[in-house]
Amino acid sequence: MNALLEIRGIKKTFPVRKGLFQRVKGHVNAVRDVTVDIERGTTLGLVGESGCGKSTLAKVLVGLYPPSEGEIRFNGKPIIRAEATERIDTARSIQIVFQDPYSSLDPRLPIWRSIAEGLSIHHEGDASTLWRRVGEILELVGLPPNAADRYPHEFSGGQRQRIGVARALIMDPEFIICDEPTSALDVSVQAQILNLLKRLQEELNLTLLFISHNLSVIRHVADKVMVMYLGAVVEIAPARQLFNAPLHPYTRALLSATPIADPKLRGRRIKLEGELPSPINPPPGCTFHPRCPLANDRCKREEPRLKPKGDASVACHAVEEGRTE
Amino acid sequence: MAIADQKMQDFSERLTTVNEIKGRSLWQDAFRRFFKNKAAFASLIVLAAVVLFTFIGPYFAVWSNEEIDWSVLGQVPTKGIPSFETGHFFGTDDLGRDLYSRVIQGTQVSLLVGIIGAGIAVLVGTFYGAVAGYFGGRVDSAMMRTVDILLAIPYMFILILLLMVFGRSVLMLFVGIGLVSWLGMARIVRGQTLSIKNKEFVEAALVTGVHPFTIIFRHIVPNLLGVVAVYATLLVPEMILTESFISFLGLGVQEPNTSWGALISQGASTIQYGTLWQLAFPLFFFVISLFSFYFIGDGLRDALDPKDR
């Protein structure tokens, strides 16, 4: 296996403080034990509904939050550990493209300064080489090089997202996290950004972690898909298999909720009852059991572990026991 | 209708200027909007005229501000009235000194107090507030509680006490005003910082490994400056009012120095003798300057609207 990024048992909890003395009154379990390998040159899609810990995981990976537990290895070398306070410098080859292109660029700086910020921090080259590099990168993402001294408010949402991609690319990263890069864009522009990312991946042999709650987008870009629910991984499978034969009842519910244009092709909708439980007080046993149509007594007591089944891995007692209805 | 027309005009202007290659920063846009605001633009001209007057005015003065015109002494209500013949363009004060020169001097002192007070607020308040807001947590709590405590002290009392203990001097006045002027600014800046620091461009800078203080100066402070500029222009008249109040009480600027507050105080005390000009001239400059500052602040607020991105 040629795994570029190995995520080992990452947990992230946030303390909940209340009252006059800000005493810790519990923890939000934003990410609960995520373990996954991402192979070089592939795209891992990460799906899940709002608040399931997708973005928290992304922020742990780029070092914005230290993980509460676990370790991340990059090219076999550990780069982020629970105890370490500082990222090791190799982590600069992990970059991120943010969700909202309207807030991810400093409105007071011309875009070339936003793009070149990473390079200038690492003191690489003088002003003219920086400038040339910015021009190259802008062309790579499909913007005219003379756009460099314009300001963010002079660009459209799609163009801004291209600038966001340029900022990530200028560091020559091997691994890029795309944190819902298309969710703030119009549908027509979404496709442009997705195709840009795919093209760049091929040209530069990039490895991507693509976070989205839009399954159609994931289907378009991902080689492997990871489904998260309430901070935990419920299913990891090759994309084709996940979309054709989803295993976990949550994945099936998610897929059945995807809008399909042709009414004849629409299958039976699986409607999930209830709300996403609170991550401060997750339900005992399988966290999905209050909403799961297949839940039995075992699901209420025992938390399922992620177990391989064929090419996929799934965390579900029902799948394990072969209960499907 | 007028608003709609204005909007259409703005829109069409944007359409026609969109082809420019050179980028236009938010500041340039803001200045354009500011100059379109007639009240603010007129106020800027008035204020510039007042400042210019304090520099050019002395060349036309016949009397200095300290000279006593012995010929009018004792007959100020009749001989001290404003006239070109005597060279007392604004008349004389109760002691026969030329009010024209005194008003120029008072204007200089008052504007200086206002600008220095607001300047300290901008420098100290912005930095203090940005650091407190950016680092958050305990640092924030400690820093902002300090501000709360300082704000809870009645500052006029402290100012008067300072002037009584260390003597009445302009320097002491600056120190006293400087001590309190930055508190409100620190609060405002801290609040703005809290909202800016959660923007993704700050996270992006953090991911690339930018030092926290560099982030504060490169990303946070420039995005704060709109608010700071507005608040600072509104702070200038506040400082002038404070100084005027102190001087009105007789504690501020001392003879032979003077300020708007001191002049107005003297003018008010002699009003029953019919020497109305002694109140009218300093009051005129005081009022138009304060109005100008408020209108400029208002115009800046509209021009630097934080909603515009």
For position A301, what pLDDT does the model report? 84
Statement: residue B5 has pLDDT above 70: no
For position A220, what pLDDT does the model report? 86
For position B309, what pLDDT does the model report? 40
For position B304, what pLDDT does the model report? 74
- What's the mean pLDDT in B224-244? 84
For position B133, what pLDDT does the model report? 92
- Residues B12, B15, B19, B20, Cα dihedral to 10°: 50
Answer positive or negative: Cα dihedral of B251, B255, B257, B258.
positive
- What's the mean pLDDT in A67-94? 73
Q: How confident is the model over B236-291, as pLDDT tens digits?
A: 888 888 888 888 787 877 777 788 888 888 888 887 877 788 888 888 988 999 88
Segment 262-281 of chain B within 8 Å of chain A by CB: none
For position A123, what pLDDT does the model report? 64
Percentage of the residues of chain A whose pLDDT score is greater than 70: 91
Q: How far lies B199's CA from each of A103, A220, A225, B143, in Å? A: 6, 29, 29, 23
Statement: residue B181 has pLDDT above 60: yes
CB proximity B16 to A under 8 Å: no
Which residue of B15, B17, B18, B208 is the best one to mutate when testing the A interface, meaning the one whose CB has the most A CBs within 10 A?
Answer: B208
Across the interface, which of B18, B201, B208 has its CB nearest the CB of A106? B201
Which residue of B201, B202, B307 is the best one to mutate when testing the A interface, meaning the one whose CB has the most A CBs within 10 A?
Answer: B201
CB proximity A110 to B under 8 Å: yes
For position B128, what pLDDT does the model report? 93
Q: What is the Cα gyration radius of chain A?
A: 21
Q: Which one has a higher pLDDT value, B196 or A121?
A: B196
Q: Do B223 and A106 touch (CB under 8 A)?
A: yes
For position B208, what pLDDT does the model report? 80
Number of other CB atoms surrounding residue A247 within 10 Å: 24
CB proximity A123 to B under 8 Å: no
Rounded Cα–Cα distance for residues A123 and B44 (Å): 43
Percentage of the residues of chain B whose pLDDT score is greater than 70: 90
For position B45, what pLDDT does the model report? 92
- What's the mean pLDDT in A73-100? 73
CB proximity B197 to A under 8 Å: no
Within chain A, residue ranges assigned H as helices are 54-61, 111-121, 127-140, 157-169, 187-204, 215-221, 239-244, 249-256, 297-301, 317-321
Rounded Cα–Cα distance for residues B251 and B160 (Å): 7
Distance from CA of A108 to the nearest CA of B (A): 6
Q: Is A103 helix (H, G, I), strand (E, B) or coil?
A: coil
- What's the mean pLDDT in A141-161? 87
What are the φ/ψ torsions at residue A225 (nearest 5 degrees)?
-125, 135
Q: Which one has a higher pLDDT value, A45 or B233?
A: A45
Distance from CA of B208 to the nearest CA of A (A): 5
Lowest mean pLDDT, pick from A28-42, A117-131, A173-187: A117-131
Statement: residue B73 has pLDDT above 50: yes
CB proximity B204 to A under 8 Å: yes
Statement: residue A83 has pLDDT above 70: no
For position B20, what pLDDT does the model report? 46
Rounded Cα–Cα distance for residues B144 and A138 (Å): 43
- Residues B254, B256, B257, B261, Cα dihedral to 10°: 60
Q: Which of A157, A313, A300, A320 is nearest to A228 (CA)?
A: A313
> B201 and A114 in contact (C-beta within 8 Å)?
yes
CB proximity A160 to B under 8 Å: no
For position B148, what pLDDT does the model report? 92
- What's the mean pLDDT in B133-156? 89
Statement: residue A253 has pLDDT above 70: yes
- What's the mean pLDDT in A133-139? 89
Rounded Cα–Cα distance for residues B63 and B215 (Å): 55
For position B59, what pLDDT does the model report? 82
For position B246, what pLDDT does the model report? 83
Q: Do B203 and A154 touch (CB under 8 A)?
A: no
For position B174, what pLDDT does the model report? 80
Token pair of B191 as six digits: 């609040």
Q: Which one has a higher pLDDT value, A308 or A121?
A: A308
Statement: residue B190 has pLDDT above 90: yes
For position B18, what pLDDT does the model report? 46
On whether the pTM is more than 0.90, the answer is no
The band of A86, judged by pLDDT with boundaries at 50, 70 and 90, is low
Rounded Cα–Cα distance for residues A169 and A151 (Å): 19
The band of A274, judged by pLDDT with boundaries at 50, 70 and 90, is confident
The band of B69, judged by pLDDT with boundaries at 50, 70 and 90, is confident
Q: Which one has a higher pLDDT value, A165 or A17?
A: A165
Q: Which residues of B touch A154 (CB under 8 A)?
A: 18, 23-24
Across the interface, which of B200, B207, B309 has its CB nearest the CB of A63? B207
Segment 19-38 of chain B within 8 Å of chain A by CB: 21-26
Lowest mean pLDDT, pick from B64-78, B170-184, B262-276: B64-78
Q: What is the mean pLDDT of chain A?
A: 84
Segment 164-203 of chain A within 8 Å of chain B by CB: 164, 167, 171
